[in-house]
Structure 1
Amino acid sequence: MDVFEAIQNRREVTKYLDKPIPKDQLEQILNAGYLAPAGNNLPSREFILVQKPEILQHLSKATPFMPWLEGAQAAIVITGRPEVSKYWLQDASIASGFIWLQSTEFGLGAAFGAIYHAEDAAESAKRENYVLEALSIPEDRRIVAILGLGYPEEQPPAKAQLPRETIIHYDQFQK
């Protein structure tokens, strides 16, 4: 599968089969995040692979919008390091996309559970502290997201896109 094919096939998958993911695939998925670009090549993001069912179940309660994580075979927690780089959020976000696309190439489904909440500091602190405590993450890290992974129980259809001409502009913004 080429990159564009992975982009086209990527779906938000929240129902998973009870089938383990091979270790070598998980390592390659982690490497996709590791090799993602980072501003000034600084170590502004880190990843935690979670496979223990009891931890996945606990993390599924980090927000009311992640009950699907309980059924995942694995998850990758993506952290950011604001004191290392002012681009920590962008770097972690790019890495999330790389992880998702590599997962898609292996025929895995992924779902993005947002933990960091840019517009609600209190809600973000609540979510992040829940994950920090559960995984013994140092307090100087921010928790950007948790990506759940597993073999899809079913392949969801593609979501309807807005017309391309309303999103893409050439040379200047078109009203």
Structure 2
Amino acid sequence: MDVFQAIQARREITKYKDDPISDDILSKVVDAGVFAPTGNNLPSKNLIVVKDRNTLDQLAETTPYMKWLMEAQAAIVVTGKPQVSKYWLQDASFACAYIWLEAVEVGLGSAFGAIYNAEDEEESVERENHARNLLGIPEECRVVAALGLGYPNETPKPKKHVPREEVVHYEAFKIY
């Protein structure tokens, strides 16, 4: 599968089989996040790999929207370090995207659980502290997201995308 095929095949998978993920496959997915680009090549992200069933179940309680972690076989929690780079959020976001695409490449399903909330600092602190306390994440790290991983137990139909003409502009932004 090439990268564009992985992009097109990507779906949010929230139902997983009980099949364990081998360490070799999980390592490839993790490495996709490690090798994701960062602004000025600064080490502004950390990845926490979670495989313990009890920890995954507790991590599912971070927000009401991450209950699917109770079925996931693993998760990768991605953090950013604002004191290291002003691009910490972009760097962590790139890591999430690369992790998700590699998961597709190796036959896994993934779902994205947003933990950091840029619009509601109080909600963000509550979510981040739940994950922080559970996983021993230092205060200086912002907890951006958790990506659940597992072999898909379902494959949702493709979503209907906004027409390309409404998204892509050439030379200048144009309202149609």
Q: Which amino acid aligns with 2:115?
A: I
Which runs of 5 or more residues in structure 2 are unaligned? Answer: none
Query: Deviation digits for residues 57-77 of structure 1, max 9, x if unmatched?
Result: 000000011100110000000
How many angstroms apart in 1 are the aligned matches of 2:86 and 2:149?
Answer: 29
Name 1:140's counterpart in structure 2. Answer: 140
Query: Deviation digits for residues 59-109 of structure 1, max 9, x if unmatched?
Result: 000001110011000000000000000000000001100000000001110
How many angstroms apart in 1 are the aligned matches of 2:92 and 2:13?
Answer: 20
What are the equivalent positions in structure 2 for 1:31-70 lying under 5 Å apart?
31-70=31-70
| Poorly superposed stretches of 4+, deviation over 6 Å | none
Q: TM-score, with normalisation over the residues of structure 2?
A: 0.99
What are the equivalent positions in structure 2 for 1:16-95 lying under 5 Å apart?
16-95=16-95
Aligned residues: 175
Query: Deviation digits for residues 129-165 of structure 1, max 9, x if unmatched?
Result: 0000000111110000000000000111111111110
Q: Which amino acid aligns with 2:68?
A: W
Answering whether residue 106 of structure 2 is matched by residue 112 of structure 1, we say: no
Q: TM-score, with normalisation over the residues of structure 1?
A: 0.99
Identity score, percent: 57
Which runs of 5 or more residues in structure 1 are unaligned? Answer: none
Q: Which amino acid aligns with 2:11?
A: R
